[in-house]
Amino acid sequence: MTVSKFIRKLLKLKDVIVVRFEFRGRNGEFHLWVKPLKNGALCPECRRRGRILRTMDHRLWQDVPICGWSVLFHYRPREIMCRRHGRVQELIPWADAYARVTYRFEYGMLLYCQLMTQKGAAKILHVPKSTLSDQLHRTIGRLREGHRIRDLKTIGMDEISYCKGRKYATVVYDLDRSRVVWVGRGKGRETIDRFFNEALSDYQKGQILWACCDMSAAYIGAIEEHCPKATLVLDRFHIVKALNEAVDEVRKQQWREASDHERKVLRGLRWLLFMHSAHRSKKDSRILNALRKGNRRIHRAWVLKDEFEQFWEYGAPWAAERFIKRWCTAALQSRLEPIRDFVKMLRKHVHRILPFIEKAITNAKAEGLNRIIRNVKNRASGFRSLPAFVDMIFLTVGDLDIPAQIPVKFRTV
């Protein structure tokens, strides 16, 4: 076995010949002068041999490091004349046409960035972090190019913050597949309209049968306008949250009016009131039941909140509807202002809440995805620019498996 064949075998280089190699001391660089097998000159489109027109400038490609050595490829690609495709740069077997890194480097980069911070990935791949971020953006952009949303039937939408909570982006989910399909700068109607107009065809909009969002008028308005066949279901999580907030408002009012002596009973109640009955201990229930004597108004608000949990368990829509009607009447009789506001909201949206009984879709899946997104955000200690954040969202929870877009034979790191 010749040395160059040995290197080819060791580095698992396919369709490549090693002409010459050199170790460059200090920085630990392993330089390889390579060329395509059988003299190349293949058209990247049709893979047919073309007439060589000229040799282009010398170029360098970074490959994945091996045993601490950075690996660099040298080659002068040629411009060829293809009968069908005209003047083109010949096919480079180890990298995309204009990439500065090999396919294998790209695969490693995508894989590492899914698992760890970009800083960590940059260290493993022997490049500065800024270079890695730029490269990641280029690679993901190229691999996602031309990707279309497919078979979207159940959508969810939500907003996320970035740049230390100062800026917002809107995220659209495919809730059947638990994937992110779209991310856009900003929040509100304008952003969502952009999604429907740019990312979906009219046919695709007609295919959407279920939609899930919070109570914001922007989301509801956009869904009702763009998705004529969709049944809108308000997200359970947001409704529960609104009710919890109403109960908390009652607690705050009572706290403000209470004397020092009365406050003793009210201390530490906040999280207890939020708690779902299934998670309460006996001691928790005892404290809450004691409120009946301690503070009747908070007790009343809490009982209503607890009763409302039943709603989500109904199997028959008519029974759920009857329950809501009765619950609303009881809640209004409580004469608790924040609870009455919640009832108003509930009555306004009741036709968007009842379909939950038929199809229990919630943004819960989206909340799960949101958690992953938050992890990604925290891992990078907050993204400053949206494109960098979007790259990571698509890489970790996007609807396209990005590493799988790299040709199979290069998926080794």
Q: Which of residues 185-244 bind Zn ion (CB under 5 A)?
A: none
- 65, 27 in Cβ contact below 8 A? no
- Return the residue of 20, 51, 84, 276 that touches Zn ion, per CB under 5 A: 84
Helix 236-257 / helix 337-353 crossing angle, nearest 10 deg: 170
What DSSP designation does 42 have? Answer: B
Report residue 201 as tokens.
Answer: 């065809």
| Cβ proximity to Zn ion, 90 vs 214, nearer residue | 90
The yes or no reply on residue 80 touching Zn ion (CB under 5 A) is: no
| Cβ proximity to Zn ion, 78 vs 236, nearer residue | 78
| Cβ proximity to Zn ion, 45 vs 337, nearer residue | 45
Least distance from Zn ion to the Cβ atom of residue 90, Å = 10
- 98, 90 in Cβ contact below 8 A? no
Least distance from Zn ion to the Cβ atom of residue 41, Å = 11
Region near Zn ion per CB under 5 A, out of 22-30, 57-65, 79-87, 259-267 = 79-87
| Cβ proximity to Zn ion, 31 vs 85, nearer residue | 85
* Size of residue set near Zn ion by CB under 5 A: 6
391 vs 125: CA distance, rounded Å: 18
DSSP H or E segment with residue 172: strand 167-174
| Cβ proximity to Zn ion, 53 vs 330, nearer residue | 53
The residue whose Cβ lies closest to Zn ion is: 43
Cα 144 to Cα 81, 98, 386, 399, distances in angstroms: 29, 16, 17, 10
Least distance from Zn ion to the Cβ atom of residue 408, Å = 23
- 200, 181 in Cβ contact below 8 A? no
Report residue 63 as tokens.
Answer: 């490959």
Least distance from Zn ion to the Cβ atom of residue 54, Å = 17
- Return the residue of 31, 59, 74, 85 that touches Zn ion, per CB under 5 A: 85
- 227, 208 in Cβ contact below 8 A? yes
| Cβ proximity to Zn ion, 81 vs 413, nearer residue | 81
Q: Which residues of 371-403 are buried (b: 16+ CB within 10 A; e: fewer)?
A: eebeebbebbeebeebebbbbbbbbbbbbbebb
What DSSP designation does 90 have? Answer: P
| Cβ proximity to Zn ion, 83 vs 229, nearer residue | 83
Region near Zn ion per CB under 5 A, out of 70-78, 82-90, 131-139, 215-223 = 82-90
Identity at 95, one-letter amino acid code: A
Q: Which of residues 16-55 bind Zn ion (CB under 5 A)?
A: 43, 45-46
Q: Which of residues 163-182 bind Zn ion (CB under 5 A)?
A: none
171 vs 162: CA distance, rounded Å: 12
Region near Zn ion per CB under 5 A, out of 76-84, 179-187, 388-396, 398-406 = 76-84
Residues lying near Zn ion in the complex (CB under 5 A) are found at 43, 45-46, 82, 84-85
